[in-house]
Structure 1
Amino acid sequence: MAKESSFDVVSSVDMQEIDNAFGQAKKELTQRYDLKDSGAEISLDKQGKTITVAAPSDFVAKQVIDVIGSKLIKRGIDLAAVKWGAVQAAAGQSVRQTASIVEGIDRDTASTINKDIKAGKFKVKVQIEGDKLRVSSASRDALQEVIAFLKEKDYGQPLQYVNYR
């Protein structure tokens, strides 16, 4: 019997790159003419994996979020990994918006990916292992087909294909 090949489907982000992008965005807030004295603030919670934007108005908050998004893109972070919540009213006219950084594949998304692969009639086995999926097959071509198939789909978060053996 032929040796089984496999790969893992994961969703991970480099927190150091997010920290670097946050530092660049914070610096741009202090230097950019239209945002310099606006009273907008951003904060990063590495443990909780959240970014918080506090701004005097909704318009300024959107500008700050655009700055953060551009810095994340330059650092190679997919914007699908950052889920922005609803705008919340804070003291006075100010607003606050929090984003969570998505890491790991939750159970629902993993089962959706599993169903999609099975519906594609690929000759592979899929196992859900915590926050990742292991796809294995005797045929490397089948694994390549699954990777191409998954790249075409959108699951609301960035996926990486690692440990290809």
Structure 2
Amino acid sequence: MKPDLERFLTDRVDEIAAEIVQEISARVPGYAHVRAGAVGTLVRGALAAYLGARDKTGVLEAFRVLGAGEARAGQDVRRFESALRAGARVLVRRTASAAARFYPPTGEYITVMETAFSAEKEIVEAAVEGHHLASLRALHPLFSQN
């Protein structure tokens, strides 16, 4: 992806994180406790990975850890996934808006949108996987991490 789009989104990461927190709180009241600072860290990582500035392996692992923590806290996976998707909708909407600003609907715009939807899918899958594995470990203490 082109550096101007990455810079535009990265410069607005705190604003985007605050919007994500508002969206999650509005759509999934059980997550009204979520704070913009923590979300900002995850959003920065996701943006950097999916805009090509860093490897996505570490980002996906961070979402697995988040999912595992939610499972240990007793959060329902469906509600957790709803919160993730609410946040992802904001990120996709903001990415689409920025892409349209820099790239009128063309091949580049379509590429940006495909990347955004792929990122959303991978992030949600990683977080839900972490939640699932932590739930299994809680139910079956002998379940290894391997």
Normalising by the smaller structure, the TM-score range is 0.3 to 0.5
**Structure with higher helix content:** 2
Larger RCO (CA within 8 A; separation ≥ 6): 1
Greater strand fraction, Structure 1 or Structure 2: 1
Normalising by structure 2, we get a TM-score of 0.39
